Amino acid sequence: MQVIEETRRLQERADRVRGEGRTIGLVPTMGALHEGHLSLVDAARSKADEVWVTIFVNPTQFGPDEDLDRYPRPRDADLRLCRARGVDLVFAPDASFYAGGHETWVDVADLTRPLCGAGRPGHFRGVTTVVTKLFLAAKPHVAVFGEKDFQQLAALRRMARDLNFDVEVVGAPIVREPDGVALSSRNLLLRSDARAQAPALVRSLDVAERLVRDGMRSREEILARVRAELARADLGCVEYAELREPEGLAPAPDLLSGPTLLALAVHFPASAGEGATVRLIDNRVLYATNPSQETPR
Ligand code: PAF
């Protein structure tokens, strides 16, 4: 497994691989790798000849009060995990990736305003800008992102489409801990009593899925039941629980019809830092199919 730190060298390597007619599958990450990231590696492997992972804790997607300093950076363990999973190349630039002052931004407008965008101004602009830089550095054919960050995936798909990137943006399913909590590097930062309450998110998704399966279509009634389930985790502070249309993320209609995204963000106490919290997100697409939309048997 090759490890490259300079953008120019990565671009040369990408040109060579492309010149040989081989395809590149890219998995952009901020490190602290877990089984969720490794499932993205597997997905990239099924779509491309070479799998490249990028590891860069991108400062431009963290707000001033967010956990940039606390964000885990276990570089050696990350490289070991990549090697063991058969990754061909790791791109791990240092802070000079944004060298010389940075003035150019890529901003996907409306899609990034609600949900996480409302509470984290500038976050998605940081993500879309760094992913643009990574696409231009690694020149991938395919790039894989997790569906846990549903809004990020939607924004990156839209960016690739709007800017004519010749990159297939692929989503990979959420990977969960045995108790249902979605895998995230941030789970490690939770206070232990908060970690015990974190399954409230997946329980709320299950409740909503059951209600919709049993025929409930009222957006407000479903959200009321979701909020009641989340409230059972008394250490959690809900940032949002929303039903939205999955592609453009417009608010869902009063009566659901067709696929609808249920997206959640909840803050729990962190194990370190007086008053610090860890923000967990989760989501599920609910299939509110009306009788007229059902496939005839
Ligand atoms: O999902 C992440 O880990 C990050 O947002 C990404 C896509 C690697 C950009 O820094």
pLDDT in tens, 20-37: 999 999 999 999 999 999
Model confidence band, residue 290 (pLDDT cutoffs 50, 70, 90): low
Which range has the worst mean pLDDT, 68-77, 217-226, 248-257?
68-77
pLDDT tens readout for residues 203-215: 999 999 999 999 9
Q: Which of 151, 172, 193 is the last residue of a domain?
A: 172
Q: What share of the chain is helix, strand, coil (3-state, %, to 5)?
A: 40, 25, 40
**Are 193 and 233 a contacting pair, CB within 8 Å?**
no
Nearest atom (ligand 1) to Cα of 156:
7
pLDDT for res 293 = 54
> pLDDT digits over 101-152, tens only?
889 999 999 999 999 999 999 999 999 999 999 999 999 999 999 999 999 9
- Residue 292 pLDDT: 53
74-85 pLDDT, tens digit per residue, is 999 999 999 999
Q: Domain range spanning residue 204?
A: 185-287
pLDDT score of 297: 41
Q: Is 127 in the pocket of ligand 1 (CB under 6 A)?
A: yes
The answer to whether residues 157 and 12 belong to one domain is yes
pLDDT of residue 202: 98
CB 27 within 8 A of CB 40: yes
Does residue 297 lie in a domain region? no
Q: In sequence order, what are the beta bridge partners of 168?
A: 142
Write the CATH number for 130.
3.40.50.620
Protein residue with least CA distance to atom 6, ligand 1: 29
User: Does the reported pTM lie above 0.85?
Assistant: yes
Question: Cβ(149) to ligand 1 under 6 A?
Answer: yes
Q: Is residue 184 within 6 Å of ligand 1 at its C-beta? A: no
Query: Does residue 270 line the site of ligand 1, with CB under 6 A?
Result: no
In a domain, 16, yes or no: yes
Summarize pLDDT for 159-170 with one digit per residue, the tens.
Answer: 999 999 999 999
Final residue in a domain of this structure, among 172, 198, 215: 172
Separation CA 147–CA 262 (nearest Å): 13
Q: Is residue 128 part of a domain?
A: yes
Q: How many Å lie between the centroid of ligand 1 and the Cα of residue 288?
A: 30
Closest atom of ligand 1 relative to the 146 alpha carbon: 1
Q: Which atom of ligand 1 is least distant from the CA of 131? A: 9
**Mean pLDDT of the residues in the chain:** 95
Whether 165 is in a domain gets the answer: yes
**Could you tell me if 168 and 211 lie in one domain?**
no
- Which residues contact residue 220 at a Cβ distance below 8 angstroms, ignoring those fewer than 6 apart? 254
Per-residue pLDDT, 101? 80
- Count of domains observed in the chain: 2
Report how far residue 88's alpha carbon sits from residue 3's, in angstroms, rounded to the nearest whole number: 9
| pLDDT grade for 194, boundaries at 50, 70 and 90 | very high
The CATH number of whichever domain residue 264 belongs to comes to 3.30.1300.10
Gap between the Cα atoms of 171 and 69, Å rounded? 28
Q: Which of 116, 131, 144, 174 to mutate to test the pocket of ligand 1 (most atoms within 8 A of CB)?
A: 131
User: Rounded to an integer, what is the distance from CA 132 to the centroid of its chain?
Assistant: 16
Nearest CA to ligand 1 atom 8: 29
Q: Categorize the per-residue pLDDT at 295 as very low, low, confident or very high, splitting at 50, 70 and 90.
A: very low
Nearest protein Cα to ligand 1, atom 3: 29
